């Protein structure tokens, strides 16, 4: 908001604090409900903590535009035996297990009676999940089915400060083309560019020389090319979208996906009429509009999907893609905004959990990193370093198998909401 949004630092700080305060409402709700439950039922109420916590996470995902960044379950993204639970109940199920372990430990400390029983039950559950998850990941049955595809990931490492500099546009584009040729020479059949990677709007001028060059490259090399570019829909006023374009092997446009979950303060300004003093930010973020459909894109006889930037942290969106026929999950992003912080690593870990939930390979192209390939069990097959240019070529597979989570969705999470509501009602009746 300050560096890229054109706001003064005092205004940017106030808006940032407002976002933090809003996000804090959800753990605060958890704390209030648990405190009241403990006051009524004593330490036994701690066993409701996993359900109440998941309820707060589900609220954080959906209330207003939602911002489900770094839910508790993501702490297990690289603990593969535990992460396999996501294939059954999604990341919310993993969050519940982590919360249950903590609740059992707290119960053992504060309870005067039956201190051990909850801890034993949770320990047994943890062992069952761990053993089952270890065996599931070791068997890795889905890594040997489906049609293989060589995927190329282009990580241009373009600094955000020069990304839209007209004097650098030709160099940036030619660099992406050169890196794409490298990927093709190494056998890539499907090449991914990051979010908003073209230094021009791809279809704004159909006869643009650079657009023709990309179509010609796809046609000559017989590859499919997925790239991120801003899009304008004519009108009064015109509508702006953050989009992904898929080029066929014949150079034609196979399909377009428009980003559905926009980043608040980064791609649109919430309550912009009320927050009149953030006018510079409105101008800086271009005020994008959300897409309306989880479009699945055709690659020959197969279907793929793409999530743009932080959309990948929405489990249900990725499920909609799979229900719609996606056989390969892709995600394109520009994490240059984050700089050298923990956020790019968090973003990649959250994306990898989607592969486990949906039983799909996930491939990710990021402007400054981290780009990589993840198998359906959360194993990272390839991963780039942060803040350096890279070309990655590796094998993924088109899969049509389905996990339980992909079939049932957030049933567990909504069941947790019901359990939380029952706790509140039971407390009122006791009173």
Under DSSP, is residue 392 helix (H, G, I), strand (E, B) or coil?
A: strand
Provide the pLDDT for residue 9. Answer: 85
Under DSSP, is residue 362 helix (H, G, I), strand (E, B) or coil?
A: strand
Q: How far is CA 18 from the centre of its chain?
A: 23
* Cβ-based neighbour number of residue 44 at 10 Å: 15
Question: Of the residues 189, 267, 309, 327, which is catalytic?
Answer: 309
Across 126-144, b (16+ Cβ under 10 Å) vs e yields: beebeeebeebbeeeebbe
Region label for 187, one of left (φ > 0), alpha (ψ between -120 and 50) or beta (otherwise) = left
Task: Report how far apart, in Å, the C-alpha atoms of 190 and of each of 116, 125, 299 are.
Answer: 54, 42, 8
- Residues 214 and 247: their CA atoms lie apart, in Å, by 9
Task: Report how far apart, in Å, the C-alpha atoms of 207 and of each of 170, 201, 203 are.
Answer: 16, 12, 9
Provide the pLDDT for residue 147. Answer: 97
Task: Report how far apart, in Å, the C-alpha atoms of 326 and of each of 65, 69, 305 are.
Answer: 25, 24, 6
Residue 259 appears among annotated catalytic residues: yes
The pair of structure tokens assigned to 192 is 């991914």
Contact 255, 297 (CB under 8 A): yes
For residue 370, say if its preceding peptide bond is cis, omega within 30 degrees of 0.
yes
Q: How far is CA 299 from the centre of its chain?
A: 22
* Cβ-based neighbour number of residue 111 at 10 Å: 17
- Residues 330 and 308: their CA atoms lie apart, in Å, by 9
Provide the pLDDT for residue 205. Answer: 60
Contact 100, 50 (CB under 8 A): yes
β-bridge pairing 190-192 and 239-247: unpaired
The pair of structure tokens assigned to 120 is 């034993």
The pair of structure tokens assigned to 198 is 């073209």
DSSP per residue, 160-181: TTTTT-GGGHHHHHHHHHHHHH
pTM score, whole prediction: 0.91
Across 290-328, b (16+ Cβ under 10 Å) vs e yields: ebeebbbbebeebbbbbbbbbbbbbbbbbbbbbbeebbb
Provide the pLDDT for residue 109. Answer: 92
The pair of structure tokens assigned to 123 is 């320990």
Provide the pLDDT for residue 170. Answer: 85
DSSP state of 143: G
Provide the pLDDT for residue 60. Answer: 93
Give all domains of the chain, ordered by start, each with its CATH number.
Answer: 9-141+410-430 (no CATH), 146-400 (3.60.110.10)
Question: Of the residues 57, 163, 189, 259, which is catalytic?
Answer: 259
Alpha helices in 63-145 (DSSP H): 80-83, 86-110, 116-139
Under DSSP, is residue 289 helix (H, G, I), strand (E, B) or coil?
A: coil
The number of C-alpha atoms within 13 Å of 71 and in the hemisphere containing its C-beta is 33
pLDDT digit of tens for each residue in the chain (431 aa)? 777 777 788 888 888 898 899 999 999 999 999 999 999 999 999 999 999 999 999 999 998 878 899 999 999 999 999 999 999 999 999 999 999 999 999 999 998 888 889 999 999 999 999 999 999 999 999 999 999 999 999 999 988 777 777 788 888 899 999 999 999 999 999 999 999 888 878 876 655 678 889 999 999 999 999 999 988 888 888 888 999 999 999 999 999 999 998 877 666 666 655 555 555 555 455 578 889 999 999 999 999 999 999 899 999 999 999 999 999 999 999 998 888 899 999 999 999 999 999 999 999 999 999 999 999 999 999 999 999 999 999 999 999 999 999 999 999 999 999 999 999 998 888 76
Residue 17 appears among annotated catalytic residues: no
Question: Of the residues 57, 163, 189, 195, which is catalytic?
Answer: 195
DSSP per residue, 208-263: -HHHHHHHHHHHHHT-EEEEEEEEEE-SSS-EEEEEEEEE-TTSSEEEEEE-SSPP
Residue 309 appears among annotated catalytic residues: yes
Contact 95, 71 (CB under 8 A): yes
């Amino acid at each position: 908001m300050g560096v890229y949004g054109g706001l003064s630092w005092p205004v940017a700080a106030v808006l940032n604090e407002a976002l933090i305060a809003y996000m804090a409402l959800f753990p605060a709700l958890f704390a209030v409900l648990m405190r009241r439950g403990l006051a009524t039922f004593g330490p036994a109420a701690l066993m409701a903590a996993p359900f109440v916590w998941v309820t707060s996470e589900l609220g954080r995902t959906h209330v207003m535009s939602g911002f489900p960044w770094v839910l508790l379950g993501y702490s297990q993204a690289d603990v593969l035996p535990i992460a396999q639970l996501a294939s059954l109940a999604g990341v919310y199920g993993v969050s519940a297990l982590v919360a249950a372990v903590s609740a059992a430990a707290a119960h053992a400390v504060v309870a005067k009676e039956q201190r051990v029983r909850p801890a034993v039950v949770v320990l047994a559950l943890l062992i069952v999940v761990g053993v089952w998850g270890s065996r599931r990941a070791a068997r890795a049955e889905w890594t040997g089915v489906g049609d293989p595809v060589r995927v190329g990931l282009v990580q241009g490492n373009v600094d955000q400060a020069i990304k839209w500099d007209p004097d650098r546009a030709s160099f940036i584009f030619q660099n992406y083309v050169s890196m794409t040729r490298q990927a093709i020479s190494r056998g890539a059949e499907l090449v991914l560019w990051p979010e908003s990677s073209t230094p021009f709007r791809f279809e704004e001028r159909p006869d643009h020389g650079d657009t023709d060059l990309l179509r010609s490259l796809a046609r000559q090399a017989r590859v499919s090319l997925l790239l991120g570019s801003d899009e304008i829909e004519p009108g009064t006023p015109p509508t702006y979208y953050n989009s992904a374009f898929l080029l066929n092997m014949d150079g034609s446009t196979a399909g377009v996906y428009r980003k559905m979950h926009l980043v608040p303060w980064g791609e649109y300004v919430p309550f912009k009429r009320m927050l009149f003093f953030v006018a510079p930010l409105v101008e800086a973020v271009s005020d994008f509009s959300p897409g309306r459909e989880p479009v699945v894109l055709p690659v020959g006889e197969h279907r793929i999907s793409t999530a743009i930037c932080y959309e990948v942290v929405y489990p249900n969106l990725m499920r909609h893609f799979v229900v719609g026929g996606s056989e390969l999950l892709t995600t394109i992003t520009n994490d240059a905004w984050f700089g050298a912080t923990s956020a790019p690593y968090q973003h990649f870990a959250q994306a990898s959990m989607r592969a486990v939930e949906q039983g799909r390979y996930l491939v990710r192209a990021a402007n400054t990193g981290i780009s990589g390939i993840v198998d359906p069990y959360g194993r990272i097959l390839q991963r780039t370093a942060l803040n350096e240019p890279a070309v990655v070529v590796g094998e993924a597979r088109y899969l049509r198998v389905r996990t339980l989570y992909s079939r049932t969705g957030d049933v567990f999470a909504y069941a947790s909401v019901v359990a939380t509501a029952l706790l509140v009602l039971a407390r009122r009746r006791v009173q």
